[in-house]
């Protein structure tokens, strides 16, 4: 438990504070820390794994219609798989979700195949009217996630919280 990174504890505290009790996700490596914290510390949060990010958003829409406040967790690469769900379901129906994105392709990336989508994430969110906030430091993760979630559910607009790789995969010697 004590080995869980501050940012992962913050994601869980933040989504819980925003009233989310169901997380639908497609896993990636850093997000496994979040899933571990949820398992160990948040027994009231249900998690559902989807086969694909677009499917995760469909499940999340159903959860919202049924009275829940869904969180969708995905890697930035999966945002590309989600665009039609966001633009033809979430935006026109004004269905909110807290979206937590584990970034690839930003600073500290090693895989060139991750770079184009990672670089495009913010522009794509802007183009499809999904507000997004990038977490600035591990210690501010909880507040940022909670703020994005509360704003999303309060305004009935899906909102994204981007977790940069310099936080989720800190360089050796960087701490946290």
Partner 1 sequence: MTRMTRLEATHAVTGWATPSTAIVASLGHPAYDLFAAGDRDANFYTWGSMGLASSIGLGLAMAQPDRRIVVLDGDGSLLMNLGSLATIGWVRPPNLVVIVWDNALYGTTGGQDTATAHGADLAAAAQALGITTVETASSPDDLKRALARVDAEPGPWVIVAKVDENAPASKPPLDCAFIKQRFMAAIGTPESSTQGTTADVRPA
Output 7 or 153, the one with its CB closest to partner 1.
Answer: 153
Give the span between the Cα atoms of 69 and 80, in whole angstroms: 23
Closest approach of Cβ 86 to partner 1, in Å?
Answer: 9
Give the interface with partner 1 as residue ranges (CB under 8 A).
22, 24, 46, 48-52, 54-55, 57-68, 70, 84-85, 87-89, 92-95, 156
Closest approach of partner 1 to the CB of residue 55, in Å: 5
Q: Mark residue 100 as left, alpha or beta (left: phi above 0; alpha: psi -120 to 50; beta: remaining).
A: beta
Q: Rounded to the nearest whole angstrom, what is the least distance from the CB of residue 83 to partner 1 in the complex?
A: 11
Taking the complex as a whole, how short is the minimal distance between the CB of residue 155 and partner 1, in angstroms? 9
CA-to-CA dists, residue 132 to 62, 135, 151, 157, angstroms: 22, 10, 11, 11
Q: Enumerate residues 6+ apart whose C-beta is below 8 A from 83.
A: 124, 128
DSSP-derived 3-state class of residue 70: strand
């Amino acid at each position: 438990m004590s080995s869980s990174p501050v940012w992962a504890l913050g994601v869980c505290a933040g989504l819980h504070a925003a009233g989310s009790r169901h997380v639908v996700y497609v896993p990636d490596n850093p997000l496994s820390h979040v899933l571990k914290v949820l398992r160990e510390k948040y027994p009231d949060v249900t998690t559902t794994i989807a086969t694909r990010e677009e499917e995760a958003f469909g499940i999340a829409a159903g959860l919202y219609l049924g009275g829940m406040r869904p969180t969708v967790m995905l890697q930035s690469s999966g945002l590309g798989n989600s665009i039609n769900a966001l633009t033809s379901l979430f935006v026109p129906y004004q269905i909110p979700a807290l979206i937590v994105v584990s970034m690839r392709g930003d600073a500290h990336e090693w895989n060139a195949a991750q770079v184009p989508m990672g670089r495009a994430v913010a522009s794509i969110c802007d183009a499809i009217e999904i507000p997004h906030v990038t977490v600035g430091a591990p210690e501010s993760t909880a507040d940022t996630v909670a703020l994005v979630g509360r704003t999303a559910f309060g305004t009935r607009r899906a909102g994204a919280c981007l977790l940069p790789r310099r936080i989720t995969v800190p360089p050796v010697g960087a701490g946290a």
